[in-house]
Amino acid sequence: MNIEIGSYEAKTKLPELLRGIQAGNCYTITLRGEPIADLVPAGSSRSNDAIVAVEQMRNLMLSAEPVKRVDLKALINEGRA
């Protein structure tokens, strides 16, 4: 469960938030309504999400058929015009 909380409230209720983290909650800390940080359990799966995503992209690239008859140099030069 992800809960949004303002930065001032997070500062004043840190012990309560830490108990919430132990209970399985995650918090997004906001500053003037804009998300600025996530408060998540140490070693949470969120920290592994990027690693998993990169591995999935590698597998996709290795399993995809190569693109034939495409002049990459021409495409690059076209983008520079």
User: Domain coordinates of the chain in residue numbers?
Assistant: 2-63
> pLDDT tens, position by position, for the chain (81 residues)?
689 999 999 999 999 999 999 998 999 999 999 999 999 888 766 556 777 888 899 999 899 888 788 888 888 898 876
CATH code for the structural domain at 2-63? 3.40.1620.10
* pLDDT given at position 28: 94
* pLDDT given at position 7: 95
Contacts of 34 (CB under 8 A, 6+ apart): none
* pLDDT given at position 66: 81
pTM: 0.53
